[in-house]
Structure 1
Amino acid sequence: MMPPDFATTDVAAKFATYPDKPRQMLLTLRRWIFEIAGDEASVGTLDESLKWGEPAWRPKSGSGITIRADWKEKSPNQVMVFFDCKTDLIDRTRSLLSADLTCEGNRAIILPIDTPLPEAALKTALGWALTYHRDRKAKAS
């Protein structure tokens, strides 16, 4: 499945600022987020925007949290995926997916640009983020 065109010219312009390798990684992450939202997680449509100047995606249904991803000139050898630091998602990622993903603090997954994206682990973590609120409600019932 191909992701939709960029939701806004701001988001498209942001992607155009990235060097080639990080841009390709971020485009892959974006494609996976839309695929998971539509196919695997069934969370419906996503709101795509810039949050704090970074590309961000959030299910319009409210089923999950905002996912942000970015490359920064001050850390040119990595792309980062950010989750809300008030959730347990990074702790869960660290404990269950630490063999494949490196985490920073309680809010970021670090992806070195010189290694292939760990697809299965990343898709798992992204799926958790897209269904975070829905999953918590289901556990509470």
Structure 2
Amino acid sequence: MRRNARALAASFTLLSLWQLSEAMVSVVGGGLFNHALAGGSVGALLIWGGLLILMFTRSMCTCRYGVLSAYRVDRVEANRLRAAIAHHILGPRGAHTERLPGVALSLANGNADDGGTLSRTVSITFASAVSVRSS
């Protein structure tokens, strides 16, 4: 995770903003009903409606780019793990196992995908914790 600290920080930030935006949609919706619809003001309706549209737009963009950043870290890390494993198994000293190098490499590739998935899970968990903490 240290190798991808910048990308993970971006993912954490974007996903946290997404969670907070989702939490604020109900607040802005309440403001829309209380101030614009109950008051009968067209100007207030436009302001609160525009604010609600901005909240949904921010929510959509931060979710999209936060998940994209987490997925990119996931794939880059899985590829790095896969390359390191292949270098070790297919190197001159090889891996000390009873399995043939191709079988060991195939098993290691599956595990590399699981190892890369950790960054995505950590990003979403961190964002959820921030959202719960701040609400």
Q: TM-score range by the shorter chain?
A: under 0.3
Q: Normalized per residue, which structure has more helix? A: 2
Query: Larger Cα Rg: Structure 1 or Structure 2?
Result: 2
Q: Taking structure 2 as the reference length, what is the TM-score of the superposition?
A: 0.26
| RCO higher in structure (CA 8 A, sep ≥6) | 2
Higher strand share: 1
